[in-house]
Amino acid sequence: MPEKPNLLENPAHEPSETELVQRVQDGEHDLFYELIQPYERRLYAAAFAILRNESDAEDVAQEAVLKAFRHIRQFRSEARFSTWLIQITVNEARMWRRKGHAHQIEPIDDRQDESGEYQPREFADWREVPSEALERSEVRRKLTEALASIGQIYREVFVLRDMQQLSIEETAKALDISPASVKTRLLRARLMLRELLAPGLGGGWSSKLSFEKGVKPW
Amino acid sequence: MVVNCEEVWREISNYLDGDVDPTLRAAIDGHVRGCKRCAAVLDGTNNIVELYGDERMVEVPIGFSYRLRRRLEDNMPGSRRSFFGWMVAAVAAMVIAGGFEVARSSVFSRPQPRSEHAQLASGVPPDLMVVVYPEGKTFHVSTCPFILDKTHLRTIAAHDAESQGYVPCTRCMKKYLTANLDPPAPAGVNNDV
C-alpha cells in the first residue's frame, strides 16, 4: 500500500478535496482547516444572511465548522462537501435565531405571501453590469442593506442560490423546502432587489455611478 | 407563441437560470425586444444576479480566519489548548509546584552551604532579587556595605542564590536568618532592594 504523502511537510502535493475528506475521516485532524478554508467566507456569508449581525454570524460560522469537524465521519460523498458545510451553517444559524441569540428585527415583509403575483413597480433602466462599482464601499453597503431589507425566507434562498451558487435542488435541501418554493422565492428576491437597487445603480446615488447603456450582458 | 409582460416577469428568474424551454425563451426574447419596461426589468434582474454573485460582495470581519483557526485548534483532540490539554497542564503545574514547595521546606533538599559556619535562611521571598559574587559565600541586597567584590556582582533571585549554596548576609539579610541574634542592620541598608 503506497504511503500517504505528508501534506504538512510536503505542501507541493495538493490533494483533492475528496482525498482531504478521507484523510480527515481517517484521523488526520490537522488537515481539517485546509479542507474548510476555501469555504470559510461562504459560511460566514450564509450565517450573516440569516442573522444579519457580524458577531452572531462569526459565532455561528465557528460553531458550524466545529460541528462539521465533530461529524466529519458522517459526511458521505454523494453531496458536495461545500453544500454539506453550508447546510450545517444554515441549521446552526436558524437554531441560533430560535434560541434568541440573534440581535435582529425581522423585516416587515417577511410574512409576505410568496404565492402572490409580483408586479414590478420600478422600471429604471440599468443595463450594463457595473462590476467595477463593487470596488466602491458605498455600493457594497447599498447592496448589503438591500439584501438585509428583504424578508428572511427570500434572503435565505437568494444567498444560497445566487451568492453561494448552490443549485435549486441543493438550496431546497439545505432549507428543507421544495424546489418549487426555491424558484418562487428566488424570483421574488431577485425582483425585489432589482427594484430596490436599480434606481440608485442606474445613476441615482452618485454622478460617478452613471453607467453608459450598452449591449445586454446576456 | 406570444407572451405578455406578466408572463415575462413570472419567468424572468427561470429565464436567467436557463431553465425555460426553447420555445418560451424565444417568445420572451421576442417580447423583450419590443418592450422597454420588460427589457429594463430583465437587464436589472440580471445585474442583480451578477453583482451579488461576485466574491467581492462577501466581506468577512478582520481577523475572522485567524479566530476561526484558533477556535478549531482549541477543539482539536490532543490540542495543547484543548480543554483536556489545559487540564493536564494544570494538574502537571500543581504537581510541580507542590513538589517545589515540599523541596523548599525540606532541609534535606538544601544545597551544601558555601560557609560551614553559615546560618541558614528562613522565609526569604524566592523572587527577591539579591546580589552575589563568584568567590562570595553570602547573598546581599544591592546596597549592602559589606559586599567585598563589587566588580563581579550579579543579580539573581534569592531562591537561585540559596540553591547555589549562598547564605544570607548576616548584616543586610539579618531578618531572614534562622538564628536571628545579631544586632540590627546598620543604618542606610535597604532591605527592600
B52-96 pLDDT, tens digit per residue, is 888 777 778 888 999 999 999 888 876 555 555 555 556 666 666
Q: A187–B12: do the CB atoms touch at under 8 Å?
A: yes
Q: What is the CATH number of domain A121-209?
A: 1.10.10.10
- CA B4/CA B83 separation, integer angstroms: 65
Which chain B residues touch A44 with a CB distance below 8 Å? 58, 60-61, 64
Q: How many CB atoms lie within 10 A of CB B89?
A: 12
Task: For chain B, state the CA radius of gyration.
Answer: 41
Instruction: Give the cell for residue B93.
Output: 503545574
Which one, of B168, B166, B188, lies nearest residue B180 by Cα? B168
% of chain B beyond a pLDDT of 70: 70
When pLDDT is cut at 50, 70 and 90, the band that residue B121 belongs to is confident
Verify whether the Cβ–Cβ distance A41 to B55 is below 8 Å.
yes
Q: For each of chain A's 218 residues, which pLDDT tens digit applies? A: 444 555 554 555 667 888 889 999 998 888 999 999 999 998 998 998 888 888 999 999 999 999 999 999 999 877 889 999 999 999 999 899 888 765 555 554 444 545 556 666 666 666 555 566 666 677 788 888 899 899 989 999 999 999 988 999 999 988 889 999 999 999 999 999 998 888 777 645 433 333 333 333 22
Proportion of chain B in helix, strand, coil states, percent, rounded to 5: 50, 10, 45
Rounded to the nearest angstrom, the gap between the alpha carbon of residue A109 and the centroid of all alpha carbons in its chain is 20
Interface test with B, best of A121, A183, A190 (most B CBs within 10 A): A190
Domain ranges in chain A are 17-98, 121-209
Amino acid symbol at B104: R
Q: In whole angstroms, what is the distance from residue A28 CA to residue A9 CA?
A: 13
User: What grid cell was written down for B51?
Assistant: 453583482
Asked if A193 reaches chain B (Cβ–Cβ under 8 Å), the answer is yes
The verdict on ipTM greater than 0.95 is: no
The set of cell numbers assigned to A31 is 488537515
Given a contact cutoff of 8 angstroms between Cβ atoms, the answer to whether B179 and B125 are in contact is no
Nearest neighbour of B72 by CB, restricted to A44, A66, A191 = A66
Contacts of B40 in chain A (CB under 8 A): 123-126, 198
- In whole angstroms, give the CA distance from residue A201 to residue A126: 7
Contacts of B39 in chain A (CB under 8 A): 216
Least CB-CB distance to A194: which of B6, B14, B41? B41
State the helix-helix crossing angle for B36-52 and B22-34, rounded to 10 degrees.
Answer: 120
Q: Kindly tell me the burial class for residue A156, based on how many C-beta atoms sit within 10 Å of its own C-beta (0-12, 13-18, 19 or more).
A: buried
Cβ-based contacts under 8 A for chains A and B: 145
Overall CATH class of domain A17-98: mainly alpha
